[in-house]
Amino acid sequence: MVCFKELAQEVKEEVIAWRRDFHRHPEVSMKEFRTAERVEEELRKMGLEIRRHGDTAVIGILEGAKPGKTVALRADMDALSLTEENDVPYASETKGLMHACGHDAHTAALLGVAKILNKVKDQLPGKVKFFFQPGEEVALGAKLIVDAGEMDDVDAILGIHVWADLPAGQVSVEPGPRMAFCDMLKINITGKGGHAAQPQRTVDAVVAAAATVMNLQSIVSREVSPLDSLVVTIGKMDVGTRWNIIAGRGILEGTVRGFCPELQAKAPEIIERIIKGTAAAYRAEAELEYAKLTPVTINDPQLTEKAADIIRRLYGEESLASIPKQTGSEDFAFYCEKAPGVFVFMGAGNEENACYPHHHPKFDIDEGVLDRCVALYAQFAWDFLTGEGK
């Protein structure tokens, strides 16, 4: 019997070193050139087959000793446009960029998984695909990998996200919707500008824009069941140029999030009806630009139970925690549209250095959980391919 808990301990210090290296050298979404090269360098040392897609997607492939199923394990690599405020030896060396979400940890952990699974490949049936994915923060990386056909032969996929809101070592793995869909909208409002002293000769885009913002909230209160969750947020309003000029044009930008795929499908039609009707009431016109960024991330019930069983076996029932589904979004959802998947939250918070939320300039993680990420990834792949466990 292979003990991945022990094997993960053997590579823990190396994984921490990789994580700190990636943390020092953050890169923006879809331009993770150094990170991709470092990942490929380490995978080549292990003798794995490597495929590249786009500029920075790296796929490592481990063939087992005999034919079987295929399991994919995913890590994301991109950083965020923030200036780091942590005073640590591994702080970002690139001004204006930092790993403020934990993707450096994911990348390092998955390299550790590749290393320990490579040690036992002679006992492993089937195939393991390691997805080192660019562009999660802009919802482009997973789609790139899916469009390249890398999910076509995959029977199951696992993703792990270190989570600041959970104490280090606690794990949330629960079935059903876990992260929201995310859509982006832009509304162009056209009126007729003029002098602030002569409103009768104008069509005021400010009034039309303000009414549009308020009326969009009726979607949540009057068109969606109280039992369903939906968020419609206008985060930016650009209208008007001067205090004594009535604006002739305006632009609203925002986001729509929820957990119901049917709501995601209906949202553009509902929004367009409201904005056009509202604008017409003020003699203005409105046009909608709408982009569906990510679907709902939905955990497969059977794979969820398999992952939970692994946590119980490795770290005990007390390590399992329950947290609500999250209104943030994940492009991991694109993988789950192609094959059953499970997305796990690995607690990485503590009261010393890892007490700030994701996307904060002082975000950090408790590196003591990295071996747990490695062990869970590896045990999941082993159990799925060999049929062991639940």
Q: What is the mean pLDDT of the chain?
A: 97
pLDDT of residue 232: 96
Torsion of CA 76, 77, 78, 79, to 10 degrees: 110
pLDDT of residue 2: 87
What CATH fold (topology level) applies to the domain 4-179+296-386?
Answer: Aminopeptidase (3.40.630)
pLDDT of residue 95: 95
- Region(s) of the chain under CATH 3.40.630.10: 4-179+296-386
pLDDT of residue 142: 98
As a whole-number percent, the residues of the chain with pLDDT over 90 amount to 98
Q: How many CB atoms lie within 10 A of CB 178?
A: 27
pLDDT, mean of residues 2-31: 97
pLDDT of residue 388: 87
The string of pLDDT tens digits covering residues 237-273 is: 999 999 999 999 999 999 999 999 999 999 999 999 9
Q: Is the pLDDT of residue 389 over 90?
A: no
Secondary-structure class of domain 181-294 per CATH? alpha beta
Amino acid 296 reads: V
Q: Do residues 6 and 44 lie in contact, with contact meaning Cβ atoms separated by under 8 Å?
A: no
The string of pLDDT tens digits covering residues 149-204 is: 999 999 999 999 999 999 999 999 999 999 999 999 999 999 999 999 999 999 99
- Region(s) of the chain under CATH 3.30.70.360: 181-294
DSSP 200: G
Q: How many CB atoms lie within 10 A of CB 244?
A: 7
pLDDT of residue 134: 98
Dmax (CA) for the chain in angstroms is 83
